[in-house]
Amino acid sequence: QNLYEGLGFLKREDLRKIHSSTLKILEETGVRVDEENALKILGDAGATVDSKLRIVKVPQSLIEELVKKARKCVRLCGRNPKYDLTLGDGKVHIMTSSTGIKVLDMDTGEVRQSTKKDVENSARLADALENFHIYSIMVDALDCPEEIMGLEEVDAMFNNTEKHIDTGALETDDTRDEIRMAAAVAGGFEELRKRPIIDFMQTPVSPLIQDRGNTEAILECAKREVPLIVLNMAQAGGTSPVTVAGVLSLTNAEVLSGMLIAYLANPNVPLIYGTSSIVLNMRSLSGPSLFGLVEGDLIAMGAGQLAKYYGFPSLVNASLDGWSELECKAVTAMLPSLAGADILYDGGLIEDAKTL
């Protein structure tokens, strides 16, 4: 159970200040949007658009409309109804980590490039594990042609788990085709809308960029009313400010602007507030980012609290990867749960979330 009421390190006044900072970022600095249709949608809604620089300055009124009117009750369904989830019902759900590129081979003991067979095997494993409720593509099918790799991965997932699946895409065509596959499994687009067995996780580029590929996917999800997670992946001290409050303000601006694009395209699209922000390793800029730090836990907690402040269901990074001690994992997972997160993300990979 998540225990948002009364738990969490940010007080109501702190949340209000971060919200105010977010509005200032969106109104004065703006967000770069690299997709023409999204620029038009935002401009028609009242945002100030610099077509040459692709900078959009978002008025407070649009964010207030998003928070007040956007659909917030999100149901995630499995192929088997016993795996259906309702976000916001007070329960915490666990999602696997995603997009690893290597596998520690159980037969040879060696680390190798991941394949479609590994997607199939990991989906089957997650299907059998009761502690995982949502399967995200744990590793990429790197043995498949790049042009159809996403479709091959969705095929592997649907054929090996009955649980809800999470994916992502970087172009209109890829998103459309993956949604078509989900509709074929669900029994048609209307059945998919009623019982969404797939969601898409789309990530802005920090700092403050809604890139073309992710934005195309956002618009396609909005068109079909497929659940959409807008997930920030900023690095504290790298692509975002180093302080927790600064990271949360930037994260909030990126997530809300992505959600706003989807909402303006179709107010009925189910939206999930997401963050997987981590801390830059300043001792070795070429080395891995730092998972499991208390600062990362505070960012995850704060993001969960912000989502609840607005009324959105949330997904946060729980840093469940790696060989770290079990008690550290337990605390890392517990803190965002206590702050009100609906989905804890990032379980099952090691080596900086690269290896299964």
- Summarised one tens digit per residue, pLDDT across range 62-75 is 999 999 998 888 99
Query: What span, in angstroms and rounded, lies between the C-alpha atoms of 121 and 92?
Result: 25
For residue range 80-119, list pLDDT tens digits in order. Answer: 999 999 998 888 899 998 888 999 998 899 999 999 999 9
102-104 vs 111-113, strand pairing mode:
antiparallel
The pLDDT-based confidence of 9 (bands split at 50, 70, 90) is: confident
Mean of the pLDDT values across residues 307-335? Answer: 67
Mean pLDDT over each residue of the chain, to the nearest integer: 88
More confident residue, 157 or 333: 157
Query: Is the pLDDT reported for residue 325 higher than 50?
Result: no
Using CA atoms, how far apart are residues 258 and 218, in angstroms rounded to an integer?
Answer: 8
- Which pLDDT belongs to residue 50? 98
Q: How far is the C-alpha of 11 from the C-alpha of 336, rounded, in Å? A: 15
pTM: 0.92
State residue 254's pLDDT score. 98
Q: CA of 88: how far to CAs of 3, 81, 277, 302, in Å?
A: 11, 18, 22, 17
Q: Which residues fall within 8 angstroms of residue 72, CB to CB, at 6 or more apart?
A: 88, 271, 311, 312, 313
pLDDT at 240: 85
Strands (E), the chain: 31-33, 48-50, 55-57, 74-76, 85-87, 93-96, 102-104, 111-113, 134-136, 164-167, 198-202, 209-210, 228-232, 235-236, 271-275, 278-279, 314-317, 343-347
Residue 326: pLDDT band (50, 70, 90) is very low
- Are 72 and 110 in contact by the 8 Å Cβ rule? The answer is no
Residue 341 confidence (pLDDT)? 79
Compute the distance between CA of residue 79 and CA of residue 36 in angstroms, rounded to an integer: 35
From CA 21, how far away is CA 247, in angstroms rounded?
11
SS3 114: coil
**What confidence category does residue 324 fall into, taking pLDDT thresholds of 50, 70 and 90?**
very low
Residue 237: the pLDDT is 78
Q: Give the pLDDT mean for 303-325.
A: 78
**Which pLDDT value is given to residue 320?**
52
- Please determine, for residue 290, whether its predicted confidence score (pLDDT) is greater than 60: no
The arithmetic mean of pLDDT across residues 246-260, rounded, is: 97
Does position 291 have pLDDT exceeding 70, yes or no?
no
Could you give all domains of the chain from N- to C-terminal order, each with its CATH number? 12-347 (3.20.20.480)
Looking only at the bridges linking them, the beta strands covering 31-33 and 209-210 are parallel
Return phi, psi of residue 43, to 5°.
-65, -45
pLDDT on residue 292: 57
Confidence of residue 21 (pLDDT cuts 50, 70, 90): very high
In percent, the amount of the chain with pLDDT more than 90 equals 68
pLDDT tens by residue, 130-163? 989 999 999 999 999 999 999 999 999 999 999 9
Quick one: which of 99, 12, 29, 37 has its CA closest to 262? 37
What gap in Å lies between CA 226 and CA 354, rounded to an integer?
Answer: 28
Give per-residue pLDDT as tens, 165-174. Answer: 999 988 889 9
